[in-house]
Structure 1
Amino acid sequence: MSVNQTDPMIGRLIDDRYQVRSRIARGGMATVYLATDLRLERRVAIKIMHGHLADDASFKERFIQEARSAARLAHPNVVNVFDQGQDDDSAYLVMEYLPGITLRELLQDHKVLTAEQAMDIMEAVLAGLAAAHRAGIVHRDLKPENVLLADDGRIKIGDFGLARAATANTATGAALLGTIAYLSPELVTRGIADTRSDIYALGIMLFEMLTGEQPYKGEQPMQIAYQHANDTVPAPSTTNPSVPVELDELVLWATARDPEHRPRDARALLDQLLDVQRALADPSGPPVGRTMVLPSATATAVLPDSGSGTGASTGETQILPKARHRTGPIGPETDSNADRLRTAAARRHRRGAAWLVIVVVLALLVGGVGWWFGSGPGAQAEVPDVSGQDPAAAAAQLIQAGFEVDSENRSDFSPVVPAGQVTATDPDASSRLQKGSTVTMVVSQGPRQLEVPQVVGGSIDDARQALSDFSVRDPSQQFDEKAEGTVLGIAGVGADGNAVDLSGGGQYGEQQPIDLTVSLGPVPDVVGQTVEQAQATLQSVELAGVESGREYSGTIDAGSVIRSEPQVDGPVRPGDTLNLVVSDGPAPITVPDVTGKTIDEATAELQGLGLRVAYDACRNFTCAFYDWEASLPVTATDPGAGGIAYAGSTVALSYRVE
């Protein structure tokens, strides 16, 4: 996993719950990050509004509206929204994490899709959008960037950031939102959008999937907007001749300039797409999207094909001949008024009986459908969240919810779910499925084991970068002779919860917590400072100092600190208290009685006590002939015997020449 070191959000804990891991994408309103929900122990995508928009009330309201709109939807083809909130100045939105690519990336790689591929993608998108339209929500920003293609084959619509309630048309004023290449004519000209505006955007997307390009091009956005408002989208087959005529008609229907000529919503377009799929899969079946002209006794009646859903005539017209009137003589019985009345009455009776049968059958069908989808096998239920449970308990909860459990579990590495517990389900939790559907459990193998790099002795910044595959927590700091910012140690957390020394490297789980110990530099030197000065110096680095004792010192002035010592064994950390030993000045010394001893003997004794000795040189001429210092006795001292002197002070000797 790559980490952008320049992004301040990386590593941040949002709302004491969501640990931001890496950046996924950046948009106009927000940036999307991969994060871990520490409470539920699952990966999520978290969308965080750009900081410069936080003070803009309209942008903030639109961002919050996305959460409210999307949270109302529960459909397998719509990205699930789990949470929304604000942490400090950051408004955020929590969604399901869907690893994969966008439709835009697929088009960039493959340019043109086959008709089957395009229809498969459109079917999933229309199914999700139909749920939104049914809930009264208009997406307003449909484009390939907002269609997500998961690695496991799921297709979902995301980013309802511009969605508005569709209960009434909404004018945006001068600021048209969305991407200009997919804006409907009514949005360009009047700033009004409803469900049919989404249909227009899907028609442009289908054109792009079938041809590899958008129908309108221009150097300036206004040139493209003008074409949307005034031109008619061409048939895709004019660019790609292999496109079937049925898909041509579908694109032209969806991109009609007049909203009244488009499908009323995604459900109508989805029904027609399914008819087109069936027709292309079985060319021998009845034509799709063609007007059928049925015979009538008096005129030719033109009726729309039931699959089109619009009543508009497109494609070829099949005209059947009018029914011929019966000719020849009319017998007396048929010419009788009474007979004609009896015949009419019988006909009405048969019609009444037929209608009664139809009503009964319809009632039975409605009741059966209601039972099927209400409490029968066709009823839908929400897949419960069983992550963090052992497989047996999770299977029991899924069965209780009405689902079948796949006998073969899948396994996957998980940095947050312990090995042997369920980390996810397929389909995801909160998906709505028919009861009886099979759900596969994904069981955690624990975190993937990775090699821990050597970081001790290096800087903290280099260590963070080298350990990007792990969860580096705030480092602990201590004073040390090594330079400030140097990594002194690295430790992980073992299965028993105790620290594991990783200074020598080794294997450790991906995204598992890493604790670093970092140097703050040496403890400040306070020797020679007064107690007040020493305490202030230590307080500046979050240490405390207390006077703990006094000692004599011949080198440190009285009242100044001789040394500082930790109160407890071990490294010194911020918040610790140091003992300050203060000087009482030089130690007092009682001068001994050295009278009667030779000068050399007295000197040696006094110097041994830390005193200095002074005496006058012998000027008697006889002193030149012998060692007078080793022979002449001391007669007196200053200070005298019993007096007080201090280490380093001088005692004067007096002697007598005999």
Structure 2
Amino acid sequence: MIGRLIDGRYQVRSRIARGGMATVYLATDLRLERRVAIKIMHGHLADDNAFRSRFIQEARSAARLAHPNVVNVFDQGQDADIAYLVMEHLPGITLRDLLKDYGRLTPEQTMDILEAVLSGLAAAHKAGIVHRDVKPENVLLADDGRIKIGDFGLARAVNNNTATGQALLGTVAYLSPELVTRGIADARSDIYALGIMTYEMLTGEQPYVGEAPMQVAYQHANDTVPMPSLVAPGVPQELDELVLWATARDPEERPRDARVMLDQLLDVEKLVRPNDQTAMQATMVLPRSVVATSADAETQILGRAPLAAAATLIAPDPETGEVDSTDQLAGTTQKRRRRGYWLFTLIVLLAALAGGAGWYFGVGPGSEIAVPSLTSASPEEATAQLEALGLVAAPGTAYSTEIPAGLVVGTNPGDGTRVAKGSTVTVNVSQGPAPIVLPTLAGLTPDAAATAISDALAVPGTVDEIFSNTVKKGLVISATRDSDGGDVSQGGDSFEGATINYAVSLGDVTDVTGQTLEDAIDTLADQDLEGRSGPETYSETVAKGKVISAAPASGGPLRKGSVITLTVSRGPEPVEVPDVVGQGWSEAKNTLTDLGFKLSYNPGADAIAALLSVASTDPVAGTSLPKGSTITLKPTNPFG
């Protein structure tokens, strides 16, 4: 690929990185004379409609965004067998590279990067785009200090955020609980991934690890992300709370989008960076009298009361120069009385708190129980767990494309919801995928068939191209369910998430009957078919050396590259001349013509046929001749 000129415009220079869907190269835009990054889909994925659509979706999603913290997309296209995407080239490293080099980042560095990423995501969320693959590998740190988020390859519009089948597209270490359990993603799923990434920046490690991806996914769905300060003690409490807020298992308890989290981050920065906060406070000028009065004191405490009033409380009597003892005693008594009031009030408050605590933990919210996560458990196990917690299990059903039939899909109320003891929790057991009805697919174009299948909540499968003498080229011939091979060409029952394969017509196969063997082979080769010489046979209608018939060698449907067996004519089948010498004229004539021979004789012989017999034949009896050959008959002389 290096050195290749793509679409007559982009000269590939070197490789930058390789991912699951594509490889990124450094290239030069010869038209605008600038360096760009060109992303080229892997060859084995270019023919897959789903991957090609996802690749185009990335270009459309990113092109809708114009923000300093989002990687710009310049162009997208197809050059022969290459699907490509042209992006802004940012010399630098990724956040993943930075974490590998430094282990973990300081709170200040973390907030700087988080602020830039949130700004870019906020623009995406405002445009109705969910990134769905937020991770350190997709955060670019340019050499000039710019921070940008890129790779919108899994992005989806907010109003089309439900994933089925390949639903489990993204990086498992950053998958939100709702993506793991229900395959649903919205802006709050990006927030969850960003919370995990923030934890990783602050601690240098991910919160969940496991030997298999499913173990990590299970922890995302069932565990609570710990506070970063448990691993890195220097992390401020405010950042702990920000991470816990962003990674709440219930999406309703997270920030609704990146803008909300960005506003909160800006407030956190004011608390975590006290120098910045102090610099923003107004300068306070104290009166000269206050300064002079308190200049000798080591520590000055300025309360809310005016300084003059405070001074009056302790000032000596102007006449005696001493504090009046009566006033002093009265003041002491008043202080004791106030202290008694405070103690009484404190006792009442403590009693109220004790009573409130008893109510809270006895019959109030404190007595409530969190509904456990029962996804994928058997109904018996789910019932036992709920009863052990003092809850009542009620049977329910739900359709699911992810949870096998007979296992628990979820509960109502959902897991994590707090309910009172003795409450009823409905346990919804999977009935498998929901039933659907497919429309008629035969006769549609491939694109129309794929749309009809997707609209019915099924999944377009493989496309088989075959030759057909009855269906017009480019139209669907037949369709089958991948699970059991059932024919759904004319529509029919299926189930949500089922894969539907369909065959598309390549048109007629050219009729090569009557052509020579060499011409027939050339004709078939023009249609990407391989003609091979088959058995030779006799034919009274097809000349020797010409093709009598053509048939698939395998006996199945014809595809490009199929072998066609050609049967070639050997001409008419030879027949042995019988011995008719001595037979009556009429008998001999009938015998020879019945065998397909033509006769040559004196026509006058027919008039006296009853008196004649055959004296000789030419050729003689026993000679093999093709049917239609002429035999000369010589009659005997009836007059001696």
Q: TM-score range by the shorter chain?
A: 0.3 to 0.5
TM-score by length of 2: 0.45
TM-score by length of 1: 0.44
